[in-house]
């Protein structure tokens, strides 16, 4: 793939070009002088944006799309089945076919400094912050994000040179093992993607292997506070020793009390407090004042995301002053605790939280912002996760004063294994909690109309469709839904 990307006039076809990552990769390739085309099942603002850039987008997947465009390579994501007619036709014609993560890994190697940010939670927020901090410092990074960023009106920022590349590094299907980094960050390690990682030890092993891709002289940013980080470091040291490689430079982040291997974090919070529900603190670097942070996004977890972003950006040339400036005006990437509007005097937020730990964190962040009730509206993503983390979901949602839960959302499973979200609601209620199984939007609106009071917060959590439901709720206002 490296030799292929070294070309200057090659043609690349993206199957599923409307996806967050895929549309961003297409834009990066355009900036590198490649001819780009692709297909998607439906029109979206992302495909329209690509069309405005001169990209030919085919709607619907067909072998004829390949015959017409005749690419030199086809890139697909794991969401695309291997029997897709475009993949089949490209293979028949001897066209190079590669999965998205391998392609992104090849793009990594076009840049001198590559910052890949991994972790079970917080990747999008931290990666966006890191890129904005580098940009604010007068550097010119290219950034690849798993959500849309309002500053760029896109999922990517395309720099004018090949100096710095910043990207999310997703652990699903171990895709981040295909990437190349000079700086790698691990924000946290939690048990998720149970279809890929049956045990937490499997998850830790994957993150160790990701960190082990760092070359000699690479930098590794890790949390001092994570419960799995001691095992992570033990295994990483063994991997590096067995391969005859030096350990990367370790940069840690956390509270001053988060002691790891006898040391306080390299970057740590000091004088942490909430101002009107939002975190504010000083950042110390090696025990000395680095900068002040006054966030306009809530939650202690976002304070940790901000700290990790400061670490990643400063060690790659950003100024502490630029970091402070970015944090003072950053209101979040798309669907990461965004204020959508209001309904009956109630603030409506949406967040991608889809893991029990993230649900707890988002709910607690919402509680910091109001003295009223927080109404949690949630949809689990995949039956595998909902079943495997059933008790954790019951615990997390059971802490909510009231949770409203939709049926499981899935795009890649064909068997629900006899499971329903209703089981989560029943277990919460049997344990003395308050949970309602929601069958459709009309029911949700009816329940909320009867119960919410001015000053409350409605928090939608889960897949992109929950963001859509939040907007629908706001739009209906006092009127009856269709």
Indicate whether 347 and 472 sit together in one domain. yes
d(CA 211, CA 249): 11
- Residue 481 confidence (pLDDT): 38
- Residue 1 confidence (pLDDT): 46
- Rounded to whole angstroms, the maximal C-alpha distance in the chain is 68
Indicate whether 158 and 307 sit together in one domain. yes
Indicate whether 176 and 78 sit together in one domain. no
Last residue of a domain, one of 293, 327, 361: 327
**Quick check: is 444 in a domain?**
yes
**Quick check: is 33 in a domain?**
yes
Q: What is the Cα 436 distance to its own chain's centre? A: 28
32, 115, 116, 180 from 218: Cα distances, Å: 26, 10, 12, 11
Indicate whether 354 and 466 sit together in one domain. yes
Q: Tens of pLDDT along the chain (482 residues)?
A: 455 565 544 899 999 999 999 999 999 999 999 999 999 999 998 999 999 999 999 999 999 999 999 999 999 988 899 999 999 999 999 999 999 999 999 999 999 999 999 999 999 999 999 999 999 999 999 999 988 888 898 999 999 988 999 999 999 889 999 999 999 999 999 999 888 899 999 999 999 999 999 999 999 999 999 999 999 999 999 999 999 999 999 999 999 999 999 999 999 999 999 999 999 999 999 999 999 999 999 999 999 999 999 999 999 999 999 999 999 999 988 778 899 999 998 999 999 999 999 999 999 999 999 999 999 999 999 999 999 999 999 999 999 999 999 999 998 788 899 999 999 999 999 999 999 999 999 999 999 999 999 999 999 999 988 999 999 999 886 433 33
Please name every residue paired with 285 in a beta bridge, in sequence order, or none if there are none.
267, 288
The tokens describing 166, both together, are 């910043």
**Quick check: is 184 in a domain?**
yes
Indicate whether 132 and 212 sit together in one domain. yes
Last residue of a domain, one of 327, 351, 385: 327
The tokens describing 23, both together, are 């549309």
CATH of the domain at 204: 3.40.1190.10
Indicate whether 174 and 79 sit together in one domain. no
**Quick check: is 225 in a domain?**
yes
Q: What predicted TM-score, i.e. pTM, was given to this entire model?
A: 0.90
**Quick check: is 106 in a domain?**
no
The CA-to-CA distance between both ends of the chain, in Å, stands at: 51
Indicate whether 8 and 59 sit together in one domain. yes
**Quick check: is 414 in a domain?**
yes
Q: Which domain holds residue 222?
A: 111-327
| Nearest CA among 63, 70, 55 for reference residue 18 | 55
Number of domains composing the chain: 3
- Residue pair 208/200 in contact by the 8 Å Cβ criterion: no
Place of tokens 């045990």: 199
- Residue 412 confidence (pLDDT): 77
Phi and psi for 138 in degrees, rounded to 5?
Answer: 90, 5
Indicate whether 45 and 155 sit together in one domain. no
CATH of the domain at 44: 3.40.50.720
- Residue 413 confidence (pLDDT): 82
Indicate whether 278 and 144 sit together in one domain. yes
**Quick check: is 332 in a domain?**
no
**Quick check: is 63 in a domain?**
yes
- Residue 8 confidence (pLDDT): 44
Indicate whether 416 and 435 sit together in one domain. yes
Indicate whether 346 and 445 sit together in one domain. yes
Report the b/e string of 50-65 with b at 16+ CB within 10 A: beeeebbbbeebebeb
Last residue of a domain, one of 304, 327, 350: 327
SS3 of the chain:
CHHHHCCCCCEEEEECCCCHHHHHHHHHHHHCCCEEEEEECCCCHHHHHHHHCCCEEEECCCHHHHHHHCCCEEEECCCCCCCCHHHHHHHHCCCEEEEHHHHHHHHHCCCCEEEEEECCCCHHHHHHHHHHHHHHCCCCCEEEEEEEECCCCEEEECCCCCCEEEEECCCHHHHHHHCCCCEEEECCCCCCCCCCCCCHHHHHHHHHHHHHCCCCCCEEEEECCCCCHHHHHHHHHHHHHHCCCCCCEEEEEEECCCCECCECCCEEEEEEEEECCEEEEEEEECCEEEEEEECCCCCHHHHHHHHHHHHHHHCCCCCHHHHHHHHCCCCCCCCCCEEEEEECCEEEEEECCCCHHHHHHHHHHHHHCCCCCEEEEECCECHHHHHHCHHHHHHHHHCCCEEEEECCECCCCCCCCCCCHHHHHHHHHHCCCCEEEECCHHHHHHHHHHHCCCCCEEEEECCHHHHHHHHHHHHHCCCCCC
Indicate whether 348 and 323 sit together in one domain. no
CATH of the domain at 369: 3.90.190.20
């Amino acid at each position: 793939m490296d030799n292929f990307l070294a070309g200057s006039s090659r043609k690349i076809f993206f199957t599923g070009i409307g996806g967050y990552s895929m549309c961003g990769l297409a834009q990066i390739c355009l900036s590198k002088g490649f001819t780009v085309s692709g297909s998607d099942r439906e029109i979206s603002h992302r495909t329209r944006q690509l069309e405005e850039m001169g990209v030919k987008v085919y709607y619907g997947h067909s072998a004829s799309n390949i015959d017409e465009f005749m690419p030199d390579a086809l890139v697909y994501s794991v969401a695309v089945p291997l029997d897709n007619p475009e993949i089949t036709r490209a293979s028949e014609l001897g066209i190079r076919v590669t999965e998205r993560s391998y392609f992104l890994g090849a793009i990594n190697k076009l840049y001198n400094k590559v910052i890949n940010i991994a972790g079970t939670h917080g990747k999008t927020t931290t990666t966006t912050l890191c890129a904005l901090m580098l940009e604010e410092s007068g550097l010119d990074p290219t950034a690849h994000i798993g959500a849309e960023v309002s500053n760029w009106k896109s999922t990517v920022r395309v720099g004018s040179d090949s100096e710095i590349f910043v990207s999310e590094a997703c652990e699903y299907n171990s895709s981040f093992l295909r990437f190349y980094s000079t700086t790698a960050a691990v924000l946290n390690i939690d048990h998720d993607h149970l279809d890929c990682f049956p045990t937490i030890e499997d998850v830790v092993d994957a993150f160790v292997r990701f960190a082990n891709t760092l070359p000699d002289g690479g930098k590794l940013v890790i949390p001092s506070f994570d419960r799995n980080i001691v095992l992570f470091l033990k295994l990483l040291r063994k991997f590096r020793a067995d391969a005859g490689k030096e350990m990367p430079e370790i940069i840690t982040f956390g509270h001053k009390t988060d002691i790891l291997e006898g040391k306080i974090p390299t970057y740590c919070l000091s004088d942490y407090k909430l101002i009107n529900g939002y975190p504010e603190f000083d950042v110390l670097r090696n025990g000395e004042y680095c900068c002040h942070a006054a966030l306009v996004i809530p939650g202690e977890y976002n304070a940790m995301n901000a700290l990790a972003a400061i670490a990643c950006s400063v060690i790659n040339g950003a100024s502490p002053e630029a970091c402070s400036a970015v944090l003072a005006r950053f209101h979040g990437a798309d669907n990461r605790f965004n204020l959508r509007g209001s309904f009956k005097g109630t603030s409506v937020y949406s967040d991608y939280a889809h893991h029990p730990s993230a649900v707890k964190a988002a709910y607690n962040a919402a509680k910091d912002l109001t003295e009223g009730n927080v109404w949690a509206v949630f949809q689990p993503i995949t039956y595998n996760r909902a079943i495997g983390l059933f008790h954790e979901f019951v615990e997390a949602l059971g802490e909510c004063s009231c949770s409203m839960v939709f049926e499981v959302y899935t795009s890649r499973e064909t068997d629900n294994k006899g499971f329903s979200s209703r089981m989560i609601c029943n277990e919460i209620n049997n344990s003395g909690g308050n949970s309602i199984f929601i069958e459709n939007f009309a029911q949700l609106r009816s329940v909320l109309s009867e119960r919410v009071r001015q000053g409350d917060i409605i928090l939608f959590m889960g897949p992109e469709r929950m963001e859509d439901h939040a907007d629908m709720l706001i739009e209906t206002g006092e009127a009856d839904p269709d």
